[in-house]
Amino acid sequence: MSLIVIGVNHKTAPVEIREKLAFNSKESIKEGLRYLMNNHAINEALIFSTCNRVEIYAYHSGSSNTEKTIEGKKNIEEIIIDFLSNFHRIDRREFINYLYIYKEKEAVEHLFKVTSSLDSMIVGEPQITGQVKEAYELALSERTTSLIFNHLMNRAFFTAKRVRNETRIGENPVSVSYAAVGLIKKVFDELSKKSVLLVGAGEMAELAIRHLIGSGVNNIYVTNRTYERAKELSKEFNGKAVSFENLKEQLIKVDIVICSTGAPHYVINEKMIREVMLSRKHKPIFLIDISVPRNIDPACNNLDNVYLYNIDDLQDVVDSNILERRKEAEKALGIVCEETEKFFQWLNSLDSVPVIVSIRNKAEIIRQEEVEKFKSKFKDLPPELLNSIDYLTHSIINKIMHEPTVALKNNSDTKEILIFAARRLFGIDHEEE
Amino acid sequence: MGTIFFELALTLYFAGFLLSIAGIVRKKQDLDKAVLVCSLSGFILHSIYLALRYLKSAQAPVFSMHEANSFFAWSILFISFFIFFRNKAKILNFIIILSFAFMFVSAFFPRTIPSIKPELKSIWIDIHALMAVFGIALFSLAFIFSILYLIQERAIKAKKFGGLESIIPNLEVLDKINYHLIFWGFPIYTIALIVGFAKYISLLGFLFDPKEIWSFLTWIVYLSIFYLRVKGDWRKKRAAYLTIFAFLLIIFGFFGINLLTESFHKPL
């Protein structure tokens, strides 16, 4: 019985390697799965490929059927590495040093960590669980998973859910532009009714605008020293360009200002905002200054209903969120360990010997009970007869139990399924969740 | 009679109270559903209790300390459900604490139906008392939301997070709720005062009673808040401070005057 994962991720391999090993479409994953399952040593398989990682999960029951030994002799690790190299047509020496290989408990733990977004570049980012789900659905559609992987994946999603519900890992944003949106949402309610003014340009400012659009803002104004540039940018966001001379009038109208110009001095000073606030009847305004040197006078934050955040403030928020996430990640690891343990308990329950023993015990107990009942009812019967009844029932049980015992002991592809079924059929399930 | 409904409501409020405290201490909102279930079911039972009492006594259930506190607890919950379902603002956990507190106080006072002087037995006195308590309930919620507003505002200004502000709604919602509370609270309170004054004068002539004077003072403060709010040109933070101040006046009127002075208004 063995579970294995082989893969590369953003921590172990540079993008040049990851892109060579990546399965870029659903089709290529399906093809990969088929290719992989051609090898009979592998009973169940799953391919997980995103831009940050490529992982092959495989399970083989270690069966000793003769037809399989030919390839089974090869180590399962080798089979997967060969597969990667053959399928992607690259020399194994190119990537072998970047691979990580986890087996058994470590493999399960790794999968649970990946699914719960503890192994992600940005810990706690929520997309990964969905991506794993997609990968699992592909494997399902290709029928490359069975009893073990179906249960394993189920537990992985359950673990991810627990991590999400029981820790605060995904709660606070850890990128500057997301953090800005988060702060804005602390002040304003319905962003779809708010307007934003972009002063200047810049990658981070544009990113923040995009996040705001994603949160529902659709009233966007753009201004720039050169009007042409403003026009260009406004097209990008479906906004309106306004001339830089009208900055003050514009400030009276909008709710959110993102400032990012190359100016070496304050573009927006305290006096200006003071006047603006008077004109806007103190309606709250949120100012974000991501320019270095700063473009908005920090004194503006002292005015009532003016909320000013500069790049350092945002970075502080992000840093404390990252710290928070790290703390939460430790809690999450505890959950992962717990769930890994549970999964192995389940896996061990699929060992044939204890199952056979408990079925036989159960049968024996029933037999004895029934015989006792019979004996107490017919006390007058001669003891020889009673003894032969004992003997008779015993041999009936043995005869009935013979076939199932052989089937359960037999190392075949379906061994785990049979054991699983036997536990159900004879009602000896315990601590199975 | 019907006192079982009171006990059950109190118990459910207590459960809601404990759940809210657990949520607030851990700064999580995962118990909010349970809080809603507890407070809503408690509220329904509480409503039945009040209705039964009203039917039995044929007078508004607000004339003893037991009744006033219990009706007050009922009112703030009633208003909160309204806010909760209208604004989708997660605020019940803060309110149920207050509701439970008043319910708890109410439980300590005798539950007998108060006998009021025959000359005061009138629909107008009922209206006066009901509206006064309901108006004060609106003001007390404005007080709570003003405090929440200040907590949230301070966190954003100081750029320090990780405190209570994470489970408090955003400033705009808080301010909007505050506005509505004052917008409804002020006229209701005004009508209550006018009806009360009119009845008072018709019974006793024009005399000065400490409670009446105090109520009038508070009314002036609320009038200014109302005016400034409705006019729109107002710094929200100052509005919040003034709302808190005004409510402290009210509380003094509600309890202090009754206990410290020989007012005509002393609970019967």
* pLDDT of residue A404 exceeding 70: yes
Q: Residues B108, B159: one domain?
A: no
Measured distance CA(A241)–CA(A243) in Å, rounded:
7
Q: Residues A87, A11: one domain?
A: yes
Share the mean pLDDT of chain B. 85
Q: Residues B4, B61: one domain?
A: yes
| Model confidence, pTM | 0.71
Residue of B nearest to A323 (CA): B162
Q: Residues A148, A190: one domain?
A: no
Range of the domain at A271: 176-315
In chain B, what percentage of residues exceed pLDDT 90?
A: 33
Per the domain annotation, does A196 fall within a domain?
yes
Residues of B in contact with A317 (CB under 8 A): 159, 161
Q: What is the nearest CA distance from A28 to chain B, expressed in angstroms?
A: 41
Q: Residues A146, A231: one domain?
A: no
Q: What is the 3-state secondary structure (H, E, C) of chain B?
A: CCHHHHHHHHHHHHHHHHHHHHHHHHCCCCCHHHHHHHHHHHHHHHHHHHHHHHHHHCCCCCCCHHHHHHHHHHHHHHHHHHHHHHHCCCCHHHHHHHHHHHHHHHHCCCCCCCCCCHHHCCHHHHHHHHHHHHHHHHHHHHHHHHHHHHHHHHHHHHCCCCCHHHHCCCHHHHHHHHHHHHHHHHHHHHHHHHHHHHHHHHHHCCCCCHHHHHHHHHHHHHHHHHHHHHHCCCCHHHHHHHHHHHHHHHHHHHHHHHHHCCCCCCCC
Highest mean pLDDT among A19-33, A49-63, A320-334, B41-55: B41-55
Cβ(B43)–Cβ(B78) under 8 Å?
yes
Residues of A in contact with B155 (CB under 8 A): 186
Range of the domain at B49: 1-114
Q: Residues A228, A266: one domain?
A: yes
Contact B161 A317 (CB under 8 A): yes
Q: Is the dihedral of CA B164, B169, B170, B173 positive or negative?
A: negative
Residues of A classed as catalytic:
51
Neighbours of A404 (CB within 10 A): 17
Per the domain annotation, does A288 fall within a domain?
yes
For B85-137, the pLDDT digits (tens) are 888 778 888 899 989 999 999 898 888 887 777 777 788 888 888 998 899 89
Residues of A in contact with B235 (CB under 8 A): 282, 304-305
Per the domain annotation, does A336 fall within a domain?
no
Lowest-confidence segment of A140-154, A237-251, B241-255 by average pLDDT: B241-255
Contact B233 A316 (CB under 8 A): no
Name the domain count of chain B.
2
Per the domain annotation, does A22 fall within a domain?
yes
* pLDDT of residue A348 exceeding 90: no
* pLDDT of residue B3 exceeding 90: no
Q: Residues A247, A136: one domain?
A: no
Residue A291 pLDDT: 85
* pLDDT of residue A220 exceeding 60: yes
In chain A, what percentage of residues exceed pLDDT 90?
A: 23
Residue A309 pLDDT: 93
Q: Residues B123, B91: one domain?
A: no
Give the CA distances from residue B10 to residues A112, A134, B74, B194, in Å, rounded to whole numbers and listed in that order: 45, 49, 11, 33
Name the domain count of chain A.
3
